[in-house]
Amino acid sequence: MKLAGWGRYPVAGAQVYRPEKLAELAAVVTADSTNLIPRGCGRAYGDAAINDHNRVVDLQRLNRMLAFDPETGVLRCEAGVTIAEIIEVFLPRGFFPPVTPGTKFVTLGGSLAADVHGKSHHRDSSLARHVLSFDLMLASGEVRRCSREENADLFWATAGGMGMTGVILQTEFQLSRVESAWIDGEVVGAKNLDDVFEAFERTEKDYHYSAAWIDCTTSGASLGRSVLHLGNFAPPSAVAAKRRANPLVFHPRTKAAVPFDFPGFALNSWTIRGFNAVYNAIHSTTGKHLLVDYDSFFYPLDSIHNWNRIYGKRGFVQYQCVWPPAESRAGLIETIEAIARRGGGSFLTVLKKFGPQEGMLSFPIPGYTLALDFPVADALFPFLNQLDEMVLKRGGRVYLAKDARMRPETFRAMYPNLPQWQSIKASVDPNNRFSSSLARRLNMVPA
């Protein structure tokens, strides 16, 4: 069948398997056939979970919760369990995922394979930091337990390794304790880039979670105008009086759906400019108090089903990069100016602060990260290649879970641990049975 990532670009045909039992999965993995890549909810934007003319194994049916210790908050579950399911079961008990991306419709296996980050990376790091162990099915069908003590190299090659070392079967990881389903925080308007950096640094000791929406249509003194959202899980005393009896209960609802593919012209630079102006007008009051449910705070886009259709049939690319601390300001200016020269482009632009790197190929490094959406268009890829060069020159890198078009030489230069990762990959999968469209495009495993 035809498959794509969330960006709907590129599309590739593959044979898809949906095992429900480990024995069925083992038969797929060890079959003498074309190569294979695991897939979760398909929320990676580009070609990480597709495999042109080869095989894909969808793990969503291996989704049993296996054990939970309410004393420690340690949960063991199969890789197909989603963050949404974990929240549904464990938030009422006072626990929340330690790290969550901007959508809850992702599996644990996919999240660990991309070593995802959330709005608290500078405090909590990425998901791997909270994983105690996982079981990995290798190309031979053998299952290896991986942790910091046992098969440690394989642990660090798999977290962030984009499904290329084997199939994550189950993981044991630490949930965080929370006292309510509500986020208590602040919305801070920043009039330009200096303002937003100052606000990130000034508020980081008070707030666990932070992310800024940047208006990329601005220039001059207002270049980088942003709205910074800051928050902590609220204590029950801060929750609205009528919710205080059950502060851990909140049921999110999907509010809308995009019923068809928008035509390409719907998202021109004027609609983007209009969206950003309206968004800033609403949120520009500095220090506005925020008390919202967790779903609106962490997953604002999940309330609109299929929002990826607004970019039209050709799909879109999310470009997410990170710069080291000393280069973040200059890198951002350079990027926003380049987008302005191109005539605009990004509808949703998010800025976050990062802490240290975990896995060998994990994306986060200390610094600031920017995520930009671009509808696929004729001259887009040469432009993104230019952005790559600017990011690379400043010691930064691009996120594999969002990528659909980076060049192999750029990837090699951005990920200096690649040779170490390649030798571990070769030791567990000498015939390169696990491969994806992304892996071949980036030449992750040289022939």
Residues numbered 5-34 forming contacts with ligand FAD, rule: CB under 6 A: 6
Nearer to ligand FAD, 248 or 354 (CB): 354
CA dihedral over 322, 199, 301, 130, signed as positive or negative: positive
Among 26, 75, 79, 84, binds ligand FAD (CB under 6 A): 79
Token pair 């608290």 is found at: 120
109 is a contact residue toward ligand FAD (CB under 6 A): yes
Q: How far is the C-alpha of 434 from the C-alpha of 156, rounded, in Å?
A: 17
396 is a contact residue toward ligand FAD (CB under 6 A): no
Residues 6+ apart with CB under 8 A from 266: 310, 312
Q: What x-and-dash track marks residues 300-329 binding ligand FAD by CB under 6 A?
A: -x----------------------------
* Shortest spacing between CB 267 and ligand FAD, in angstroms: 17
Q: What x-and-dash track marks residues 140-179 binding ligand FAD by CB under 6 A?
A: ----------------------xx---xx-----------
114 is a contact residue toward ligand FAD (CB under 6 A): yes
Nearer to ligand FAD, 42 or 345 (CB): 42
Q: Nearest 5°: phi and psi at 294?
A: -60, -35
Token pair 């969002």 is found at: 402
Q: Which residues pair with 17 in a beta bridge?
A: 57
98 is a contact residue toward ligand FAD (CB under 6 A): no
Nearer to ligand FAD, 37 or 75 (CB): 37
Nearer to ligand FAD, 218 or 226 (CB): 226
* Shortest spacing between CB 60 and ligand FAD, in angstroms: 8
Residues 6+ apart with CB under 8 A from 16: 1, 3, 39, 55, 56, 57, 58
Residues numbered 247-306 forming contacts with ligand FAD, rule: CB under 6 A: 301
84 is a contact residue toward ligand FAD (CB under 6 A): no
Instruction: Please state, in angstroms and as integers, the Cα–Cα distance from residue 108 to each residue in 99, 134, 169, 184, 319, following that order.
Output: 11, 11, 10, 27, 23
* Shortest spacing between CB 28 and ligand FAD, in angstroms: 12
83 is a contact residue toward ligand FAD (CB under 6 A): no
- Binding-site size for ligand FAD (CB under 6 A) equals 33
Q: How far is the C-alpha of 252 from the C-alpha of 375, rounded, in Å?
A: 29
Among 49, 183, 188, 424, binds ligand FAD (CB under 6 A): 49
Instruction: Please state, in angstroms and as integers, the Cα–Cα distance from residue 424 to each residue in 23, 96, 331, 401, 443, following that order.
Output: 26, 33, 33, 21, 16
8 Å CB contact between 28 and 17: yes
* Shortest spacing between CB 186 and ligand FAD, in angstroms: 20
Nearer to ligand FAD, 43 or 218 (CB): 43
Q: 381 by DSSP, 3-state: which?
A: helix
**Region near ligand FAD per CB under 6 A, out of 39-47, 142-150, 174-182, 280-288:** 39-47
42 is a contact residue toward ligand FAD (CB under 6 A): yes
CA 407, 408, 413 angle in degrees (round to 5)? 105
In what side-by-side order are the strands of the sheet with 367-375?
A: 288-293, 182-190, 226-233, 209-214, 349-354, 367-375, 316-323, 397-398
Among 10, 73, 97, 101, binds ligand FAD (CB under 6 A): 101
Nearer to ligand FAD, 163 or 331 (CB): 163
Q: Which residues pair with 323 in a beta bridge?
A: 368
355 is a contact residue toward ligand FAD (CB under 6 A): no
Q: 70 preceded by cis ω (within 30°)? A: no
Nearer to ligand FAD, 59 or 428 (CB): 59
Q: Which two tokens stand for residue 18?
A: 């949906």
Which residues of this chain interact with ligand FAD, rule CB under 6 A? 6, 37-44, 48-49, 59, 79, 101-103, 106-107, 109-111, 113-114, 116-118, 162-163, 167-168, 301, 401, 436
